[in-house]
Amino acid sequence: MKTVTKSIILCLGLLGTSMTSCKKDLMKLNENPNGSNPATINPNLVMSTVLTQAGIEIVTLGYQDMAGVMQHTQKDGWTTTHNEYDWGGSNSWTAYYDILRNNQLVYNRAVAAQNELQQGVALVMKSMMFGLITDLWGDAPYSQALKGEDGPPATTPVYDPQQDIYAGILADLEKANTLLSKPKSAYPSPIDAVDVYYQGDPAKWRKMANSLALRYYMRLSEKLPAVAKTGIEKIAGNPIQYPIITDAADDATMSFPGNSNADSWPANAAYDSDSSNYRRLKMCHTLVASLESLRDPRLGVWANKVQCFLVVNDKLPPGTGNVYKAVDTVVNGENRKVRYVSPDVLAAKGLTLKDINQDVDYVGLPPAIPGPAVYNLSPDAAQASRNPHVSWLNDIYKQAKGPLLKARLISAAEVHFILAEATAVKGWAAGDAETHYKAGIQASFSTWGVSGNLSAYLSQPGVKFNNTQEQIITQKWIASWTAATEAWADYKRTGYPNLHAGPYAKAPVLPVRLYYMLEERNLNKTNVTEAMKRLEVTSQSASGANGPQNSPWSKPWIIQGTGKPW
């Protein structure tokens, strides 16, 4: 600070004779020696941040609260946002726009340096992040976003209509397909060292671009069916010009180094001495019941069996004679503990057999119930998420890293299910529906290491292809484990799977969007108000914290007039 003051005094004293020299000194003083100049920085140095932060944000969303909405998991501690959609208007897109600002710098520098590989990757990331934002909120800053340094009006950007955002996304993905169409050797500036998704392979990035285009064309299938049909048929009918992800080996994923809490699997136990973040997350009964009904081998990859299963014994205990004694005792079974409980013990607790789950293998928490920490006779009086009578997540989710612990951005399974739906349900020319349906399941089985069970699984009556949207979307919902945000988008569009909110949820049906956050409503009130006016108020819109005009139960454009999901 003293150096700056002396320079200013010196500059004033020599104003008449040394203006140029003083200006140079001040410019040097304003340079950050630890920062990077946006006008000259190598875009690869910023790209690594874009990719890693996007992966972290997407998996955290899909593994945490969106998994609660889509009933993959429930929490028995810190339950309100996860189980009950009690979001309170605090949802923020700041982290997503931070990623987009860095990504825009990558794109601008790549254009200046004529680096087409970096341009293409940046357009793919821009499309994915803006797609996430509009999927979650509806209308959002788009055309005037990322320009705040230019001053007004970009400091209070307009909220573009959702249909315009999707159109812009699809245009950018089309451009990316062209930019990424050259062989790797044709790009003068490689990205191998910073590309945590594809290690610098432009062919795989091109597949990701076109696969994302399929995702967003299917988003539009109810509102703009002609546009969606043309786009999907264009891609599906020309695999040379529009290659897509068809094999799990080409999935867009990101592994975790696991060196610190910041670069590890979210909610892992390695940096949580009490493992409380891991313990709070339990399997949801909705997913467990679906997987068990189909004898799905993925359940054992994702969940542990209950540590101690329940047996309600309605007979007199042996050796008691005519004297009946209440039974509530834990004994060591062959492989696990068993807790025997008599009906009168249940009655004393105000419970019936309908309140107890006696499954000997997997027990999930029902959605949004009162007292999830003590569900199923849990003896955990301290409610420390140590219930031995429900299924905890598999031990792999305690770890900071692992071969299955990846952020999953878009997959072969998702692509095949999109094409199966396009053909079977929409009647569009996108290949054979049953072939794509089976390939979607196969890709998911390959991802989770259970391919050896595929033939037996596909032969089951409940799995055999029946040409219905419900079956396709249900399988897609299962395959979206740890990536539940995509399942939420499908649910809003189709109403499948048929999910029911629990008794403590903020509304009797599932929400369809996130709140516009308070900071936006304060700082950009005019544009937020206009966006809220474009939401469709529903019979459920009074639910939540911010009134019907900004409710998670008010419908954005993409589902208005469709009668979906409820």
Residue 546 has pLDDT above 90, yes or no: no
User: What pLDDT score was predicted for residue 151?
Assistant: 84
Residue 329 CA, chain-centre distance (Å), reads 42
Q: Which of 16-25, 143-152, 387-396 has the lowest mean pLDDT?
A: 16-25
Q: Is the dihedral of CA 331, 337, 342, 348 positive or negative?
A: positive
* Residue range 64-82: mean pLDDT, rounded: 96
- Dihedral, CA atoms, 471, 473, 474, 476, nearest 10 degrees? 120
Omega within 30 of 0 (cis) for the link into 497: yes
Neighbours of 300 (CB within 10 A): 15
Give Cβ neighbours of residue 2 (< 8 Å, ≥ 6 apart): none
User: What pLDDT score was predicted for residue 153?
Assistant: 85
Please say whether the beta carbons of 406 and 396 come within 8 A. no
Tell me the per-residue pLDDT of 248-277, one tens digit each, with 9 for 90 and over.
Answer: 999 999 999 999 999 999 999 999 989 999
- Look at the block and give the residue holding tokens 């949580």: 272
Residue 35 has pLDDT above 70, yes or no: no
372 token code pair: 């999830």
Residue 171 has pLDDT above 50, yes or no: yes
User: What pLDDT score was predicted for residue 25?
Assistant: 47
* Residue range 353-361: mean pLDDT, rounded: 96
The SS3 assignment for 549 reads helix
Give Cβ neighbours of residue 535 (< 8 Å, ≥ 6 apart): 138, 513, 549, 550, 551, 554, 555, 556
Alpha helices (H) along 480-540: 484-494, 518-523, 525-533
Average pLDDT of the residues of the chain: 92
Please say whether the beta carbons of 498 and 517 come within 8 A. no
| Range 532-539 contact pairs with CB under 8 angstroms and sequence separation of 24 or more | 534/138, 534/139, 534/161, 535/138, 536/560, 536/561
* Residue range 23-42: mean pLDDT, rounded: 59
Q: What percent of the chain has pLDDT over 90?
A: 84
Give Cβ neighbours of residue 139 (< 8 Å, ≥ 6 apart): 159, 160, 161, 162, 165, 531, 534, 556, 557
Give Cβ neighbours of residue 14 (< 8 Å, ≥ 6 apart): 21, 22
pLDDT-derived band at 17, boundaries 50, 70, 90: very low
- Cα separation, 550 vs 516, in Å, equals 7
* Residue range 422-446: mean pLDDT, rounded: 98
- What letter represents residue 113's amino acid? A
Please say whether the beta carbons of 279 and 392 come within 8 A. yes
Neighbours of 68 (CB within 10 A): 22
Please say whether the beta carbons of 505 and 566 come within 8 A. no
Please say whether the beta carbons of 308 and 388 come within 8 A. yes
| Range 233-238 contact pairs with CB under 8 angstroms and sequence separation of 24 or more | 233/428, 233/429, 233/430, 235/210, 236/419, 236/422, 236/428, 236/429, 236/430, 236/431, 237/429
> What is the SS3 string spanning 40-105?
CCCHHHHHHHHHHHHHHHHHHHHHCHHHHHCCCEEECCCCHHHHHCCCCCCCCCHHHHHHHHHHHH
227 token code pair: 């546009």
- Cα separation, 258 vs 271, in Å, equals 10
User: What pLDDT score was predicted for residue 38?
Assistant: 79
- Cα separation, 515 vs 550, in Å, equals 6
* Residue range 189-216: mean pLDDT, rounded: 98
- What letter represents residue 124's amino acid? V
User: What pLDDT score was predicted for residue 393?
Assistant: 98
Neighbours of 445 (CB within 10 A): 23
- Cα separation, 50 vs 172, in Å, equals 17
Backbone phi, then psi, for 309, in 5-degree steps? -90, 160
* Residue range 471-499: mean pLDDT, rounded: 98
User: What pLDDT score was predicted for residue 214?
Assistant: 98
What is the DSSP track for 423-447? HHTT--SSS-HHHHHHHHHHHHHHH
Residue 46 has pLDDT above 80, yes or no: yes
Residue 380 has pLDDT above 70, yes or no: yes
User: What pLDDT score was predicted for residue 13?
Assistant: 38
Q: Which of 4-8, 173-177, 414-418 has the lowest mean pLDDT?
A: 4-8
Tell me the per-residue pLDDT of 285-333, one tens digit each, with 9 for 90 and over.
Answer: 999 999 999 999 999 999 999 999 999 986 555 555 545 567 899 999 8
* Residue range 499-517: mean pLDDT, rounded: 97
pLDDT-derived band at 15, boundaries 50, 70, 90: very low
What is the pTM for the complete model shown? 0.92
- Cα separation, 553 vs 507, in Å, equals 8
Residue 2 has pLDDT above 90, yes or no: no
* Residue range 76-104: mean pLDDT, rounded: 94
Tell me the per-residue pLDDT of 437-476, one tens digit each, with 9 for 90 and over.
Answer: 999 999 999 999 999 999 999 999 999 999 999 999 999 9
User: What pLDDT score was predicted for residue 314?
Assistant: 62
Q: What percent of the chain has pLDDT over 70?
A: 92
User: What pLDDT score was predicted for residue 31?
Assistant: 54
